[in-house]
Structure 1
């Protein structure tokens, strides 16, 4: 009888020689494994014959990742243009750029499968709204108003504004020099300055401090006569100063020169408002002061040379004085005066009529090259100016009666003009 082979893999035939070594990376042996000693010619379990490569008895210890499989999920990148579009949309500074970036971002996100679609959409919407606001502002002039507001904000802290009729104290010891701020105070009490007018200069580049001073001398004095029509009421210790633009404030668009009354004494002050114009005077006072000031204006236009050197000039000027007197006589007669002022004004008109005759004769003498005769009528024509009839008419109307002194040409300043150059 034959003996069956032991369980397990088939045994090699001894006549065929030893069997090849098992593949260490092949599949593990199939079927149950014996627990007894191995058959003759087999190596003990877990050992390999010398010269054979070492391998795991059950093949590869783990299975490698398959092709195309990722061991973990990689996050999508955020599109940078989408972020930029949102930022510009929120800031509303460059809405057109934000809108363009948002559109480009949406195209890139779709092609590159990036994230940030919501950011791009939000940025595009906000940029569109901002662009619409800009267009509306430009169409309605809102942009120019915003620019003016920006300039005002840019000068804040280095500039201040004072207005006509305002009284103030300056932080410095005087109204001359550089000033950056003032403190508004009531005009009824003591104060260092009172604003009586302002005007604006022109030009692209800063003309220099000297040009600003010359412009103030030229234009502040006519504004003074409009603010204080009763020029006799100005105290002797009052002078004209100004606040003007600096080189720095000029670059920001400042062109305003402010004309100011101040005390000639650096340590002195003013008390009470000096204003005497249509806001403080009655109709009778205004009518008289207009005529008197009109005559003062033409009298200040007298030629600079002596009559001996410029008789033709004095001839023309005398004719102008005559014509101005004729105009003001008619104006005073046409006004309906109150009972208290009627007679004093009528007496003044008579003196003006006499003076008109003298100025006509003075003009004729100058035309005839008769200097001596010219001087005779010149003196008689001037006799009515600030004469007794003028004082009486002023007193009847409640105006100042103290005659002012005319030591200097008002166009030359009547004293040192202040140079408080600052941005206002």
Structure 2
């Protein structure tokens, strides 16, 4: 009885195949055992061969996948995750799964699975390193800065910049430039807001207005050195940037004329002034703060309010003169500063009487000399000795229709007048 050959193309006569003559392979098409007690033919990879009892491709006789076999889909996914470096842990897991599947299926893609595993491992290592060094946090902060509306604002205190669309509006763009050249704005403060729901544009505007005007003296300590054409602007978060974590109000000095620019830095603080200049200006700010609280009504309408404010003026003058007398001044500044302190002490007494006035007329009688004694021109000699600006700033009457002298001044807020608020009032 003959056994038909296995299906497939016939081999030419005399073809020995991979086995020596007289040897037959084992497996599903093994030849019958010879009769007559002859020893069975030996298979080179059989029980006594170098690879143990099974063929070299595994215990079940799997062969390498043919050229037309399908590519493992998990291997493709692993390679994509490895190349793009996102979700590296996922790419690593997919690569290991693909290798496991390819060992058990006639599929291709082993090289892609290995590449995806290696790349994902590198990506995972980089993520761990970035988290440990804070690089991810820096990236996120940069992203949030770029998410403010349609603008790119990466500005710090002291930076100067140009804005193609001006300083008014929500979609402000900023190109940092040296302060020595013409520029549209100079950042003088950054205000960080608390987390929570978006407060609304109007609320943000009011908060920015209050905070920025309060912070300008800390950056431009010498109010006399601030040009009269400079105004305060602020850039607030938009609703979209708020959702991305933006909580910063940017306070900016800019020109009152939208078509005009600034040149040179307006910074006058501890980083640009000497210790004597700083001490003098800090004392002046005490009185300026009191002047900013002047009532917006007349004494006839609110005598109690004016008396309370006069008391605050008296206290501020006592504090200012005390600060001037306590500091050790240079020899050439000692005389002018001491003389100014004496004038401020006289003004303190006048405002103390105004605080006790029992009628509007009495209030004006005592406050008038108080205004004269804090005339800013009385401080010019001291300023000159300290090498500070000696030209008092002027007040724009068009900005204060009431003529109440609400603009405060350095060492004094206004000139004389029946109601304590003459036309020659000055502004910080």
TM-score, length basis structure 2: 0.68
**8 A contact 1:303–1:314 mirrored in 2:** yes
Measure, in 2, the Cα distance between the counterparts of 1:155 and 1:363. Answer: 50
Match of 2:248 among 246, 253, 256: 256
Describe the superposition over 1:96-155 as per-residue Cα deviations: whole angstroms up to 9, x where unpaired: 322332333344333334344454344344434433443454455443233334445667
- Counting only pairs closer than 5 Å after superposition, residues 14-53 of structure 1 correspond to structure 2 as none
- What residue ranges of structure 1 are gaps of 5+ in the alignment? 1-64, 412-424
**C-alpha distance in 2 between matches for 1:270 and 1:146:** 33
Where does structure 2 lack aligned partners over 5 or more consecutive residues? 11-64, 401-405, 409-428
Q: Counterpart of 1:335?
A: 327
Name which one, 1 or 2, has greater alpha-carbon Rg.
Answer: 1
C-alpha distance in structure 2 between counterparts of 1:269 and 1:155, whole Å: 24
Once the two structures are TM-superposed, the CA of residue 206 in structure 1 deviates from its matched residue by 4.4
1:344–1:389 contact (8 Å) kept in structure 2: no
Change beyond 3 A, Cα 1:68–1:130: farther
Q: How many residues in Structure 1 have an aligned counterpart in Structure 2?
A: 343
Question: After superposition, where does 1:302-381 map in structure 2 within 5 Å?
Answer: 302-365=294-357, 369-381=358-370
Q: Is 1:131 the counterpart of 2:142 in the alignment?
A: no
Structure 1 distance, partners of 2:262, 2:311, is 41
TM-aligned CA distance change 1:159 to 1:143, over 3 Å: closer
The answer on 1:95 being equivalent to 2:84 is no
1:397 to 369, 386, 408: 386
How far off its partner does 1:296 sit?
A: 0.9
Q: Look up the SS of the partner of 2:250 in the other structure.
A: strand
CA RMSD of aligned residues (A): 3.5
In structure 2, relative to structure 1, the CA distance for the partners of 1:70 and 1:147 (3 Å cut) is farther
Offset at residue 355 of structure 1 (A): 1.7
- The answer on whether the counterparts of 2:377 and 2:392 sit within 8 Å (CA) in structure 1 is no
The 3-state SS of whatever aligns with 1:400 is: coil
Q: 1:180 to 1:306 in 2, by over 3 A?
A: closer
230-239 or 143-152, which deviates more: 143-152
Match of 1:300 among 289, 292, 298: 292
Displacement, 1:232? 1.9
Equivalent residues in 2 for 1:182-261, closer than 5 Å: 182-261=174-253
Q: CA deviation at 1:332?
A: 0.8
Displacement of 1:297: 0.6
**Structure 1 residues 152 and 267 mapped into 2: Cα distance closer, same or farther (>3 Å)?**
closer
Contact 2:78 2:94 in 1 (8 A): yes
- 2:190 aligned counterpart, secondary structure: strand
**Structure 1 residues 67, 316: closer, same or farther in 2, change over 3 A?**
farther
Secondary structure of the equivalent of 2:101?
helix
| Distance apart, 1:168 and its partner CA | 4.0
Q: Distance in 2 between matches of 1:100 and 1:190?
A: 57
- Once residues 152 and 262 of structure 1 are traced to their aligned partners in structure 2, the CA distance between those partners, rounded to angstroms, is 22
Structure 1 contact 191–269 (Cα < 8 Å) conserved: yes
Q: Any residues of structure 2 matched to 1:143-158 within 5 Å, and which? A: 143-151=136-144, 158=151
Mapped to 2, the partners of 1:151 and 1:302 lie a distance apart of 41
